[in-house]
Every structure is written in structure tokens, then in C-alpha cells.
């Protein structure tokens, strides 16, 4: 069972009350000690004034002292009382011999004097009577002092709980006032649904912690809205991409079932269905790569990779159609399977739009390796230049569908490259006259493997392409 209350306001009030109680105990204790010393100092000051007056009288009257004083004695050094007041029973020795020996220039003692009704305060000071050293003893009852001290302790003990309760109540009120904006923001946040992500919390005036909290929550809502919109667009695009091959696959199968006796029609339908099934599998693999990269679950097994050899294997695999020329060699630190997946996307994308030639140029750069894929096609469309490496981006959706593209080529390549610490950029105006895509992989001494891109593709800047050309950064044409 929890000891502290669940409400933050109650916990703050309880903490405030506890702190107030501790402070109250310290202050009451200090106040009691100070007032106690002040009361006792007042008694001592009165004794000193009386002792000065009586010492003067005893000296002038040869040891005779008036009987009006509450308690006074003139005592010889041997302890004998020489001058009690006439008719008053003050001849009982008030101080012991040991105490008289410690008198010095004046000493206070607290003794029990029946003459004064109990505990008393006594001042002893040396005097001379007729040239003989004596000790003047003056006493005062402590009844009034003790009574005042008891009343003071009673008042402080009675007032402390009341003050603590008042301070705790004040803490409760102040905590409620301080947390009122938080309560309002909580209610506003509870009212925001997934269909109202454009709503924001009202930011209180000022620059305190509450206003900073509201601004932080609004920034979080902004990121959530952008993420939800991004995922909705992704689902819409993925659904659109899946709809076409599924529709074609269904149509081909229905056609084959409608003409079971026509062998050629059935074979053609099955071949077309196989193409669409392959396309669906490729799309599913691409979507899986994107999903895993966003959650940091993309498996990587980095080791030294010869980029020239990897590009040659991919060119041989994609040997049909436009020829691919590979030039140069360099070693990078990356996952070989992911590197070939990147090359498959980039080279097949370049072959799809090349007029007659695709070139893959590999070389070494500072602490890394460079790979450039270029073609002699028309280049990237100007309409998609502002959205570099976005998913499902194509200049012509119909043409991309006819050529087997899904709009994920450069997006997949960028995701896989960044997950291995590589940089990627693209543009128009290569040495072959068409588009270029450039990757820079880290070498074994400077790799940053495992830094999976979670926040989406970064912006790529314009720049010259060494050995290939220069041009503005643009997007996947697949």
C-alpha cells in the first residue's frame, strides 16, 4: 500500500507541511532558548544591581545591611554569616565553602533556599567591611522565571501545530494555483483524438516551467501529427501499389479459368500471374526493409566489401537489356548483402531509363570508398526535385508501373546506405549526359555501422559529381 497520496497536489502540500514542521521545530527551539536566556539574564541583571547597592551600603555601615531585601548575607571567608538582617532568618549559610572559594570577582549560583521558597538564583561577590575581606551574597527566587518559562513553552507548543496547519493549508492552495494550468492542459490533451492532431494546447503567459511544458507538448503533438500523416500516406501509397498487381493477378487467373481448354491462353495467364507475383514479393521485401529500418531492427553484418566486384556481380545478374560498364575498385566497410541490394536498386533503376548505357564508377576517397551509378537517359524530372529520396515518388506513375517500378528504388537504397553510415546523393548531368547517384561508404577505420536512419531521409545538397558530372539533387524515377 502506498504511503504517499497519489495526487501531486496532495504530495506537494504534505511535503510543504513536513518542511514547515521541521522549520517550526527549529524556530520554536531557538526561540525558547533565546527567551529563556533573556529571562535568566534579566534575573542576573537585577541581582547585580542589588549587589552593587548593598555592597555600597555594607561598606558605609560597617557590614550592616537593611532587612528589606528579599535575601542578603555578608559571609566571612570561613563561611560564617556575619550580617543577616535583624529579625529575619537569613543566618543559614547559603553557599558551601567550595562555592565561596570560587567567588572571584563575582559568581552566580543556583541553589535551593528555603527562605525564598525553593530554587533560587544567588550572586556572590567579594567586598571589604572595615578592611576585612568578606563575601556579599544576594539571592532572588526563580519562581517567577520558571512560571514564565512554563507559560512560554505551553504557548509555543500550542501555537506550533496551528501554524503548521496554516502553512500546510497555504501550501495546498499554492500547489493548486500552480498546478491549475497543468490540469487544464491535461484536460485539453485528453480531448485531442487521433482525428484532431492539428489541435494544440494553450501556452500560458510567461516563460516559466509550465509554459515550457506546454510548448514541449505542442512540439511533441506536431511531431506526432507529422508521423501519423507520414504513415497514412505510406499506407495509402502501399495500398495503391498493391492494388494494381493484385487486380492484374486476379484478372489473369479469371481469364485462365474462363478458358480452361485453351492451352496458350492458360500459359500466358500463368506467366503474367507469375510476373505480378514476383512484383508483389519485391514490393513486400521493400516495405519490410523500410519498416525494419525505422524500428532499428534492420540486421547488418558489416565486413570489408570490394565495391567493384559487387558491382560486377550485379551487372552480370542484370545482364539483359542495356549494358552496364563497371570501372574501378575500392574497399568499404559494410554488409555485403545490403550493398548488393543497393546496387540492384540503383542499377536496375538506371537501366530502366538509360538510352544505351549505364556506368558504375568505383574509387577511393578520404577514409572511405565512393560508388557512382550514371546513365545516358533523360535524367530526373524537374517536378520531383524538391522531394529527394521520398517513397513512392515517380515522375509518371503509369510508366513506372509498366516498367515494373514501385517508387521505392532510391528510397530503399538511401535507407540501406544510411543504416551503414554511408551518404547518398543524386542529380542530373552525369558524364554520360543523364542522371547520377553517388554513395560514399566509410572505410574500415572510419565506419559508423549500426547508425540506422530512424527519422526519415535527410536532405541532399547540390554539388559536383567527381568523374561523372554535376547537377541538382533529384529523386527516384522508378
pLDDT at residue 381, as a whole number: 75
pLDDT at residue 177, as a whole number: 82
Give the mean pLDDT of the chain: 76
**Domain membership flag for residue 476:** no
Cell 537569613 found at: 90
In this predicted structure, which of 194-208, 271-285, 381-395 has the lowest mean pLDDT? 381-395
pLDDT at residue 86, as a whole number: 43
Q: What does DSSP say about strands 469-471 and 463-465: parallel, antiparallel, or unpaired?
A: antiparallel
pLDDT at residue 113, as a whole number: 77
CB-based contacts of 126: which residues, under 8 Å, 6+ apart? 103, 104, 105, 106, 133, 134, 135, 136
pLDDT at residue 138, as a whole number: 85
Does 470 have pLDDT greater than 70? Answer: no
Whether residue 272 contacts residue 299, with contact meaning beta carbons closer than 8 Å, is answered with no
Q: What integer is the mean pLDDT of 222-249?
A: 75
**Domain membership flag for residue 262:** yes
Same-domain pairing of 463 and 334: yes
Among 199-208, 318-327, 460-469, top mean pLDDT goes to 318-327
Distances in Å between the alpha carbon of 34 and those of 2, 123, 152, 162, 400? 41, 22, 11, 22, 92
Does 358 have pLDDT greater than 90? Answer: yes
Residue 91 confidence class, pLDDT cut points 50, 70, 90: low
What CATH code is carried by the domain that includes residue 243?
A: 1.10.287.130
- The domain of 104 spans 8-147
Residue 425 confidence class, pLDDT cut points 50, 70, 90: confident
Q: Classify 86 as helix, strand or coil.
A: coil
Distance CA 282, CA 278 (A): 6
Residue that finishes a domain, picked among 234, 269, 293: 293
Q: What integer is the mean pLDDT of 87-94?
A: 58
Does 359 have pLDDT greater than 90? Answer: yes
Residue that finishes a domain, picked among 112, 147, 182: 147
Does 81 have pLDDT greater than 80? Answer: no
pLDDT at residue 458, as a whole number: 36
Note the pTM of the prediction, 2 decimals: 0.46
pLDDT > 90 in the chain, percent: 8
Distance CA 226, CA 204 (A): 24
Among 196-200, 220-224, 240-244, top mean pLDDT goes to 220-224
Does 400 have pLDDT greater than 50? Answer: no
Cell of 414: 538511401
Same-domain pairing of 259 and 326: no
Same-domain pairing of 272 and 327: no
What CATH code is carried by the domain that includes residue 136?
A: 3.30.450
Same-domain pairing of 271 and 409: no
pLDDT > 70 in the chain, percent: 76
pLDDT greater at residue 295 or residue 448: 295
pLDDT at residue 198, as a whole number: 78
pLDDT at residue 196, as a whole number: 74
Same-domain pairing of 217 and 325: no
pLDDT at residue 446, as a whole number: 54
Strand order in the sheet with 72-76: 72-76, 132-141, 118-129, 107-113
Cite the DSSP H helix spans in 81-142.
97-101
Does 252 have pLDDT greater than 60? Answer: yes
Does 457 have pLDDT greater than 50? Answer: no
CB-based contacts of 153: which residues, under 8 Å, 6+ apart? 32
**Domain membership flag for residue 64:** yes
Q: Classify 82 as helix, strand or coil.
A: coil
For residue 310, the tally of other CB atoms under 10 A from its CB is 22
Same-domain pairing of 58 and 115: yes
pLDDT at residue 399, as a whole number: 36
Q: What does DSSP say about strands 107-113 and 72-76: parallel, antiparallel, or unpaired?
A: unpaired
pLDDT at residue 293, as a whole number: 65
Among 140-149, 172-181, 359-368, top mean pLDDT goes to 359-368
pLDDT greater at residue 84 or residue 106: 106
Same-domain pairing of 131 and 216: no
pLDDT at residue 366, as a whole number: 84
Distances in Å between the alpha carbon of 51 and those of 8, 120, 333, 368, 434? 64, 15, 101, 101, 117
Does 22 have pLDDT greater than 80? Answer: yes
**Domain membership flag for residue 241:** yes
Q: What integer is the mean pLDDT of 384-403?
A: 50
**Domain membership flag for residue 187:** no
Q: What integer is the mean pLDDT of 463-476?
A: 36
Q: What integer is the mean pLDDT of 417-435?
A: 86
Same-domain pairing of 329 and 385: yes
**Domain membership flag for residue 323:** yes
**DSSP code per residue over 248-276:** HHHHHHHHHHH-TT-HHHHHHHHHHHHHH
pLDDT at residue 114, as a whole number: 76
Distance CA 171, CA 168 (A): 5
Among 104-113, 130-139, 315-324, top mean pLDDT goes to 315-324
Question: How many Å separate Cα 107 from the centre of its chain?
Answer: 65
For the chain, the domain total comes to 3
Residue that finishes a domain, picked among 123, 147, 171: 147
Does 360 have pLDDT greater than 90? Answer: yes
Amino acid at each position: 500500500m502506498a504511503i504517499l497520496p497519489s495526487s501531486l497536489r496532495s504530495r506537494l502540500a504534505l511535503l510543504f507541511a513536513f518542511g514547515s514542521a521541521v522549520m517550526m521545530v527549529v524556530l520554536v527551539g531557538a526561540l525558547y532558548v533565546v527567551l529563556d536566556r533573556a529571562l535568566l539574564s534579566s534575573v542576573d541583571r537585577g541581582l547585580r544591581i542589588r549587589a552593587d547597592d548593598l555592597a555600597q551600603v555594607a561598606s558605609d555601615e560597617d557590614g550592616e545591611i537593611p532587612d528589606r531585601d528579599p535575601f542578603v548575607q555578608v559571609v566571612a571567608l570561613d563561611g560564617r554569616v556575619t550580617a543577616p538582617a535583624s529579625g529575619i532568618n537569613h543566618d543559614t549559610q547559603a553557599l558551601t565553602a567550595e562555592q565561596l572559594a570560587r567567588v572571584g570577582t563575582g559568581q552566580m549560583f543556583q541553589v535551593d533556599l528555603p527562605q525564598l521558597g525553593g530554587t533560587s538564583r544567588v550572586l556572590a561577590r567579594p567586598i571589604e567591611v572595615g578592611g576585612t575581606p568578606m563575601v556579599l551574597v544576594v539571592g532572588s527566587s526563580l519562581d517567577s522565571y520558571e512560571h514564565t518559562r512554563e507559560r512560554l513553552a505551553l504557548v509555543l507548543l500550542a501555537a506550533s501545530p496551528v501554524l503548521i496547519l496554516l502553512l500546510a493549508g497555504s501550501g495546498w492552495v499554492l500547489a493548486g494555483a500552480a498546478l491549475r494550468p497543468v490540469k487544464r492542459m491535461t484536460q485539453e490533451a485528453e480531448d485531442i483524438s487521433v482525428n484532431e492532431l492539428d489541435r494544440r494546447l494553450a501556452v500560458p503567459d510567461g516563460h516559466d516551467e509550465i509554459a515550457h511544458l506546454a510548448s514541449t507538448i505542442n512540439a511533441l503533438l506536431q511531431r506526432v501529427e507529422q508521423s501519423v500523416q507520414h504513415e497514412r500516406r505510406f499506407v495509402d501509397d502501399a495500398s495503391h501499389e498493391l492494388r494494381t498487381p493484385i487486380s492484374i493477378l486476379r484478372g489473369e487467373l479469371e481469364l485462365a479459368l474462363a478458358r480452361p481448354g485453351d492451352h496458350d491462353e492458360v500459359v500466358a495467364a500463368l506467366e503474367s500471374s507469375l510476373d505480378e507475383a514476383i512484383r508483389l514479393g519485391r514490393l513486400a521485401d521493400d516495405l519490410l526493409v523500410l519498416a525494419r529500418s525505422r524500428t532499428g531492427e534492420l540486421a547488418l553484418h558489416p565486413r570489408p566489401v570490394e565495391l567493384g566486384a559487387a558491382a560486377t556481380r550485379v551487372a552480370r545478374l542484370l545482364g539483359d537489356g542495356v549494358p552496364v560498364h563497371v570501372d574501378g575498385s575500392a574497399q568499404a566497410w559494410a554488409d555485403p548483402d545490403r550493398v548488393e541490394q543497393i546496387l540492384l536498386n540503383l542499377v536496375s533503376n538506371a537501366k530502366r531509363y538509360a538510352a544505351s548505357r549505364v556506368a558504375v564508377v568505383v574509387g577511393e576517397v578520404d577514409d572511405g570508398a565512393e560508388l557512382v551509378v550514371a546513365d545516358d537517359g533523360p535524367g530526373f524530372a524537374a517536378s520531383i526535385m524538391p522531394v529527394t529520396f521520398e517513397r513512392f515518388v515517380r515522375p509518371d506513375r503509369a510508366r513506372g508501373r509498366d516498367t515494373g517500378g514501385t517508387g521505392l528504388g532510391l528510397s530503399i537504397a538511401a535507407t540501406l546506405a544510411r543504416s551503414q553510415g554511408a551518404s547518398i546523393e543524386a542529380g542530373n548531368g552525369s558524364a554520360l549526359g543523364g542522371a547520377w547517384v553517388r554513395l560514399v561508404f566509410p572505410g574500415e577505420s572510419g565506419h559508423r555501422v549500426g547508425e540506422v536512419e530512424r527519422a526519415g531521409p535527410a536532405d541532399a545538397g547540390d554539388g559536383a559529381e567527381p568523374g561523372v558530372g554535376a547537377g541538382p539533387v533529384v529523386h527516384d524515377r522508378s
